[in-house]
Amino acid sequence: MMKIIEMFCFGMYVLFLHSANAQTIKVGLEPFPPLITQDKKGVFIDMLSAIENISDLKFDISMMNYARAKKELQGGRVDLIGLTPYHIETKAFYQYAQDLDWSILFFVDIYAKNKLNLHPDTFNKLKLIGTPRGNENFFSARYKIPVQAFHGGEIESSLKMLDKNRIELFMFERVSTMTSIRSIGIEKVYYRNIDRFPAGFSVSNNPKGNKLKQKLDSLFKQVAKQAEFQKYFTEFNHHWQLPDEGLLK
């Protein structure tokens, strides 16, 4: 009995030392339901938890829009942000940030109630384009659309505006958008894929960020190989294998 108590006490001591020596990493995440939800759930939250279990890192997560996440990283108030376009952000972004060497493929679609608004010669000339707040500048630069045409907001509220014809188009990542459309119960929404690129996480472009990047590059790859995460991403293949355009009924 004494030996069991001693082993328990030793285990608690090791756990205490691990917690005491843990390096706290402040994280700013943009909601990408169901991959990242506003209440801090989803596969990427689970990945950060898995990294905590195999390292001396502890993640202090805050939810915020993409524009704020970039400002917080630039100001040194957070250490890690996501999800960020992998190696294709603006030149200004890479003055203060750098991408981790891990990513997954993202599909960017446009959505409309009026199918004509999806036409290649039409969508980038519209003046009422919804997107999650903070993504306006990136999409504006990438697709040569005036930033004034974008109306930033929460995913669900923007999609409700689309359903009521208060905006002409919605532009964002496929999995989170289609999940939200089905969750809200919006019917008869046309979509068309306009882009696909990898996305992941970014840290500061300075000596502190360099050290963190070196550690996280290895940890993300290690965790991503775990069976539960391989299975999770495989389950989302049906979104990525959909036709490039169609109607969500």
d(CA 213, CA 104): 17
d(CA 173, CA 125): 20
For residues 22 and 60, the answer to whether their CB atoms sit within 8 Å is no
Q: Is pLDDT of 7 > 80?
A: no
Task: Using CB atoms within 10 Å of the CB of residue 75, give its burial: 0 to 12 exposed, 13 to 18 middle, 19+ buried.
Answer: exposed
What is the pLDDT, as a whole number, of residue 238? 81
pLDDT digits (tens, 9 = 90+) for 163-178: 999 999 999 999 999 9
pTM above 0.75, yes or no: yes
d(CA 117, CA 55): 49
What does each C-alpha distance from 148 to 1, 64, 123, 130, 140 come to in angstroms?
A: 71, 22, 14, 11, 9
pLDDT digits (tens, 9 = 90+) for 43-81: 999 999 999 999 999 999 999 999 999 999 999 999 999
What is the pLDDT, as a whole number, of residue 3? 53
Q: What's the rounded mean pLDDT across residues 233-248?
A: 86
pLDDT digits (tens, 9 = 90+) for 197-238: 999 999 999 999 999 999 999 999 999 999 888 887 776 778
Q: Which CATH architecture has domain 107-196?
A: 3-Layer(aba) Sandwich (3.40)
pLDDT digits (tens, 9 = 90+) for 114-123: 999 999 999 9
Q: Tell me the backbone φ, ψ of residue 105, rounded to 5 degrees.
A: -80, 135
Q: Is pLDDT of 8 > 50?
A: no
Q: Is pLDDT of 11 > 80?
A: no
**Residue spans in the chain of domains classed CATH 3.40.190.10:** 2-105+198-240, 107-196
Structure-model confidence comparison of residues 3 and 214, the more confident one: 214
Please give the CATH topology (third level) of the domain spanning 2-105+198-240.
Answer: D-Maltodextrin-Binding Protein; domain 2 (3.40.190)
* Confidence category of residue 1, pLDDT binned at 50, 70, 90: low
What is the pLDDT, as a whole number, of residue 127? 95
